[in-house]
Structure 1
Amino acid sequence: MTSATRRPASPDATARETTGTGHAACHHGEILQGVFLDERRRPRHGLVTLPMTARGSTARFTCRPDSPPDEVTVTPGGRAKARAAAVLALRECAERLGEEPCGGELTLTGDLPVGLGMGSSTSDVIATVRAVADSRGLLLPPETIARLAVRAEGASDPLMHGCRPLLFAQREGRVLETLGSALPPAVVVGCALGGGEPVDTLSLPVLVAHDDLAAYEHLRRMLRRAVTDADTALLGRVGTASARLRQRVLRHREFPALTAIADSVGAAGVQIAHSGNVAGILFDPRVPGLPRRLRRCARALDREGIPSTRTFTTFATPATEEYPRGRTHLGSHRPTGPDTPRRRTRLPAV
C-alpha cells in the first residue's frame, strides 16, 4: 500500500474540530469500454473516460473527534455513496494515524446532473475522501482513493488519477494501462440522448460475447496508437466503434441519427456514456471550417430532436474550456435527492 503524505501542521492543527476540503472533476462518458486482458492475460472489464474538467463536486468535511465512529451526517441528504466513502476514509485515516475513528459532518456542492453517465457519484466520493483526509492532515494517494471509491459505490471511474488517458478496471479500482499523457486534441459537441433520463449504472446487464475480447483488444490497440500519434480521426473511430457495440445494452433510438450527423458534418466520430445518456460528436480542431461545421452540427441535432448541451475541448484554450458552441440548454444542477433518482432529470448545461 502506498503511504499517505502528511501535510505540514498548521497553527490550529491541535484544534478540537478540524475541517478539510476536497474537489473532483467529472467526465463526459467514455471513449472506450469493454473487456480487456490484464497483465496476467486475464479478462477484465475496463474503460477509458473522456475528461471534462470544468464541472465537478466539492466536499467540505468537519471532523468531530468526540462523535461516535461512523456517525456522519451529509448535506444534502440522500448521498448514501458519499456518506459510505466518508466512513471508509475516516477509518483509513485513523489507521494511518494510529488513532480511533470518529464521525463528522459532510457538505457537498457541485453542478453535476445525476444519471447521465458523467461520473457524478464518483466525483462526490472522491471529493469526500479528499476532504476527510484533508481534515486529518493527510494526502491519500490515488490508488488508495480508488480502493475506497470502489468499496463505497461498487464501481468507480478513474477521476482520482486526473486527465491522463487510462484503461481502468472500474469494478476493481486499478489501472490496466496508461495509454499516454493526453488524448488527441478534439472539440466535443455534447448532447443528451434518451430525453436526458437517468440511468442506474449498476443495474445495467453485462453482455459480453465470446468474440468481444478480440474486438475490444483491437480497439485498445487503435486507441493506444491514436494517443501516441495524437490522431483525432482514429480517436473518433474508436469512440464510434465502442459506442456501437454498447448499443446492444443501451439501445439509444437516436444513435443512428447521431452517427449520420457526425458523417454529414465531417466529424471524427462519436462517443457516448456507456452507462448513461450523455453523448458527444468529436471534431478534429485542425479541420478546415471548424466553426461552420460546429454550427451545422448544432442545427442538425436540433432537427433530430437531440438536445445539444455544452461544446468543450480535450485540450486547454487560453480563456476557457469552451469552444464556439451550439445551443446550451439551461436546467437544474444536480438534484439533492438519491444518487440515481427515478424521476426524469431536467436537461442541464453539462
Structure 2
Amino acid sequence: MGALWHSARVAGHFGEFLQGRIGRNGPVALVTLPCDCLAVRASWSAGEGFTLYQHGRAVITRARLVELFRRLHGTPPAGRLRLRAAMPPGGGAGASTASLLAVAVAVTRGGFARLPAEVQAGFCIGLEGASDPLMHRNPGGLLWASREGRVLGLLAEPPRFEIVGGFFGRPTWTDPADEDFADIEDLVADWAAAAAARDHAALGALAQESARRNARKRGRPGFERLEALAAEFGALGIVAAHTGSARGLLFRPGTVPSGVEERLRVSGLQQVLRFSGGGGTC
C-alpha cells in the first residue's frame, strides 16, 4: 500500500488595496486584495526521517518548518512534505502566511483548519511576527492589523474588479518591526463608504492614493511608470504590495483594453496575470 498523503491549498492575495498606519502613531493595518490564482499547496505523508521538496521556489525554510512542527506537535518533523507556490516569495502575495497555513492544515489532517481564525492568526504571528488575513473567510472585507494578527474592523467587501498585474523588481520580505508607513486613517473611512456604495471609481482612486503615499514615503521603483500606464489604459487605479513586488491595474469587469498584458511585460513586470478581484479565474 502506498503512503497516505494529506493535502491543503491556501489562496494568497495580490498586494493591498490599502496599507498604512491608522493615525500617525496607530497600528499598521491593511485591506487585502484576495487572489485565488496565487495559492500554496502542501502535501504531507508521515514517515521516518524528514524530506522537503519545494517545487520551483522556496517559500519556507527548513528551520521554520522544524519550529512549526514543534509548536503543533512538540516534536521535530518526520515524513515527506511537498510545497508548490504559485506566487514568488517576497512578492507581497502572501507566500509566507499561505505556506504556514497550508502546512499546518496538511500535517494535522485538516484539524488546524477547524480552529478559530483568531487562533490560526496567532500561530502565524508567533512564527513570523506578521500575518496576512488569509485564514479568514472574507479577507477582503476586513481592516486587518498585520503585526498583531487581529481584525480592527469589518468592512463591506468591495465590488469585483478585473486586475492585470505582475511582479516588478527585487523581492522584498516583510519585516515585522517595520512600521514606517504613511498615515491612511482618512483613506480607510472613505474606503468603507465607497465599498458600501460599490463605487468602483472611488475605490480605485483610494487604492492608488494609498500606494502613492507609501511610494513617496518608502520609495517604490517604477511607480511613476505604473501611474502613466494606468492613465494610458484608462484604469480606475493602481493596486500594489506595500511591501513586496506585486503591482497591478484596476478595471471594471469587462473593460480591460487589449494589449495591457504585453505592455506590462515590456515595462518589466514578471509573471503577468489577469484575474477577478476577490477570486475568480486567471
So what's the TM-score if we normalise by structure 2? 0.84
User: For 2:260, which of 297, 300, 304 is the aligned residue?
Assistant: 297
| Structure 2 letter corresponding to 1:54 | C
The residue that corresponds to 1:124 in the other structure is 99
Deviations 1:4-54 (A, max 9, x none): xxxxxxxxxxxxx986432211111111111126xxxx8211111111112
User: SS at the partner of 2:253?
Assistant: coil
The residue that corresponds to 1:81 in the other structure is 64
Deviation of 1:167 (Å): 1.2
Distance in 2 (CA, whole Å) between partners of 1:279 and 1:58 is 23
The residue that corresponds to 1:326 in the other structure is none
Distance 1:21 1:263, change over 3 A: same
The residue that corresponds to 1:313 in the other structure is 276
Distance 1:43 1:137, change over 3 A: closer
Equivalences for residues 36-75 of structure 1 within 5 A = 36=22, 43-63=26-46, 74-75=52-53
Q: Which 5+ residue runs of structure 2 have no aligned equivalent?
A: none
My pick for the range that moved more, 50-59 or 104-113, is 104-113
Distance in 2 (CA, whole Å) between partners of 1:115 and 1:137 is 25
Kept after mapping to 2: 8 A contact 1:146/1:158: yes
The reply to whether residue 155 of structure 1 matches residue 141 of structure 2 is no
Deviation of 1:63 (Å): 5.0
| Structure 1 letter corresponding to 2:243 | S
Deviation of 1:140 (Å): 1.8
The residue that corresponds to 2:161 in the other structure is 186
Deviation of 1:257 (Å): 1.2
| Structure 1 letter corresponding to 2:172 | V
Deviations 1:100-127 (A, max 9, x none): x674335132232111111111110011
Distance 1:204 1:252, change over 3 A: farther
Deviation of 1:297 (Å): 3.0
My pick for the range that moved more, 75-84 or 49-58, is 75-84
Deviation of 1:253 (Å): 2.8
Kept after mapping to 2: 8 A contact 1:73/1:83: no
Distance 1:247 1:86, change over 3 A: same
So what's the TM-score if we normalise by structure 1? 0.69
Distance in 2 (CA, whole Å) between partners of 1:135 and 1:257 is 44
The residue that corresponds to 1:7 in the other structure is none
Question: Which protein is bigger by CA-based radius of gyration?
Answer: 1
RMSD of aligned C-alpha atoms? 2.9
Kept after mapping to 2: 8 A contact 1:190/1:311: yes
Identity of aligned residues (%): 30
Equivalences for residues 205-220 of structure 1 within 5 A = 205-208=178-181, 212-213=182-183, 216-220=184-188
Distance 1:106 1:240, change over 3 A: farther
Equivalences for residues 123-142 of structure 1 within 5 A = 123-134=98-109, 139-142=114-117
Deviation of 1:184 (Å): 1.7
Higher relative contact order (CA 8 A, sep 6+): 2
Deviation of 1:221 (Å): 1.0
Kept after mapping to 2: 8 A contact 1:191/1:279: yes
Distance in 1 (CA, whole Å) between partners of 2:172 and 2:29 is 19
The residue that corresponds to 1:172 in the other structure is 148
Deviations 1:149-191 (A, max 9, x none): 11111211111113442111111111111212x3221110112
The residue that corresponds to 1:35 in the other structure is 21
The residue that corresponds to 2:83 in the other structure is 109
Kept after mapping to 2: 8 A contact 1:240/1:271: yes
Q: Alignment length, in residue pairs? A: 272
Distance 1:135 1:243, change over 3 A: closer
User: SS at the partner of 1:172?
Assistant: coil
Distance in 1 (CA, whole Å) between partners of 2:38 and 2:162 is 17
Deviation of 1:228 (Å): 1.0
Kept after mapping to 1: 8 A contact 2:133/2:139: no
